[in-house]
A and B are shown apart, each in its own frame.
Chain A
Amino acid sequence: MTTPGAADAREIWPLWEVFVRANRGLSHVHAGSLHAPDATMAIQNARDLYTRRGEGVSIWVVPAESITTSDPDARGAWFESPAGKNYRHAVYYTKSEGVPHL
C-alpha cells in the first residue's frame, strides 16, 4: 500500500478533503482539497477557499489520509455485478403501464 499524501513527510501541513453542502436539502459534495495544520484551521481555510461566492451552507473536512477507497483493480468484481439485474428497476415492469398510480 502506498503512503497517503496527508502523512507525507515532505509537507509541513497535511492535506484535507473538503465537502460542501450547497443548500439545505442537498448532500455534502466533494469540493476539492487544501492544506491546513489541524481540523480547526482546515474548516476555516475551506470556508475561505470554497465558499466565497456563496457556494455553501455547511462544510465537512476530512484528513485525506483517513479516507479509504475501493481498489480500482477490483472494479470488475465490485461494480459489475448489478449488470443484468434489471428487475431492480421500475422500468423493468412494463405490464402495469397505463394502470393509474403504479
Chain B
Amino acid sequence: MTRADPHGEVIVDRLSLADEIVGGGEEAATADAAEYALWLGDDALVLAQCLGWWISRGPELEEDMALANIALDLLGHARSLLSHAGTADGRTEDDLAYWRDEREFRCAQLAELPNGDYAHTLVRQLAFAVFQVELYDRLQESSDATLAAIAAKAAKEVAYHREHSTEWFRRLALGTDDSRRRLLTALEHVWPYVGDLFRDEPLLDRLEGVAVRPSTLRAPFDQAMGALAAETGIELPDPDLARGGGRHGIHTEHLGLLLAELQVLARAHPGATW
C-alpha cells in the first residue's frame, strides 16, 4: 500500500504558487504615492538587510530560523513596495534597491541602526513590528489598490513579528540580571530614534486616502509599548531624542556602509542580469 505521507508533503509540481510580488499589474503609482512607497519599502529593505546578518549567527539555531523568516517577510514587502514605487517612472525593484545613493533612500533612521548584540536587534525589531502592525492595519483601506493589497498581506506577517519580538522582550527584561542590563542599554541606544517614525511630512498632505498619517499611529504604538513596559517594569527612554530625517534622505553614518555592501556587486556590473 503506498500512501502519501499526510504530513509535510512538499510537492513541487502541484504547488499553487502565490505571486511573489503583490499588486503587480495594477495601476501605476503617482509620483507622491511612489515616494511614500519608498518610505515603507526602504524601511523593510534595510531591516531585512540587517536581519540577514544573523543567519548563521543567532543565539540558538531555532532563532536563526525565526530571524530568517522575519527577514524574508520584510524582503517580500520591500520588493512589492519598491516595484510599486518604480511604476511611477519605469524603474524596477532592483533599479531602486541597487542604483540609488544614500541620500535618495527614504528609510527611517531606526531601520539602519547597527545590529549590535541580540538586545539591540530585538528592540529595533520590536519597535518596527509594533509600528508596522498599526500601519498595515490602516493601509489596507488605501485608495491605492496596490498599497492596499501589499498591506493586506504584510499585516498578517508583521502581526507574527510583533508576537515574536514581544515574547523575547519579556524574556530579556525578566530573564537574568545580565539580559535586563543589556536590554536597558539597547533601549538607551535605539529608542531615541523611534519618534521619527511618527512625524508627518508635507508629502502626507498630498496623499489623503492613499497613505496613513504617521502621527495617527503614535497613540496605539504608545499604548502597546506602554503596556509591555509596565508589565516588565521597564522605563522606556525618550523616543524623540534623535533628530531623525530619514524620510528626507538624512541618515545616520551607518546607512552608507550598509548600502556599500548591499550594492557593491550589482554596481560592479552595470547592465548585467543575475
Contacts and interface: CB of A to CB of B under 8 A. Distances in A.
B209 to A, nearest CB: 34
A20 B62 contact: no
B7 A31 contact: yes
B167 A20 contact: no
Interface in B146-175: 160, 163-164, 167, 171
B65 A29 contact: no
Interface string B49-63: 000000000001010
Nearest to A28: B7
Contacts of B62: 34-36, 41, 45, 48-49
Interface stretch (A50-58, A78-86, A92-100): A50-58
Interface residues of A, number: 24
Of B60, B62, B66, B160, most buried by chain A (CB within 10 Å of CB) is: B62
B263 interface: no
A10 to B, nearest CB: 15
Nearest to A47: B160
A45 B67 CA distance: 11
A36 to B, nearest CB: 7
B164 A44 contact: yes
Given A20-B8, A22-B6, A22-B8, A41 B65 contact: no
A61 B7 CA distance: 15
B7 A20 contact: yes
A37 interface: yes
B69 A41 contact: no
Given A13-B60, A35-B60, A37-B171, A44 B8 contact: no
Interface in A4-25: 13, 20, 22-23
B10 interface: yes
A44 B66 contact: yes
Given A34-B62, A35-B60, A37-B171, A48 B9 contact: no
A2 interface: no
A55 B167 contact: no
B161 to A, nearest CB: 11
8 contacts: A23-B6, A27-B6, A31-B7, A34-B62, A44-B164, A52-B69, A53-B10, A55-B9
Interface of B: 6-10, 60, 62, 65-66, 69, 160, 163-164, 167, 171
Listed from nearest, the 7 A-B pairs whose CB atoms lie closest are A29-B7, A45-B62, A48-B65, A48-B66, A55-B8, A48-B69, A49-B65
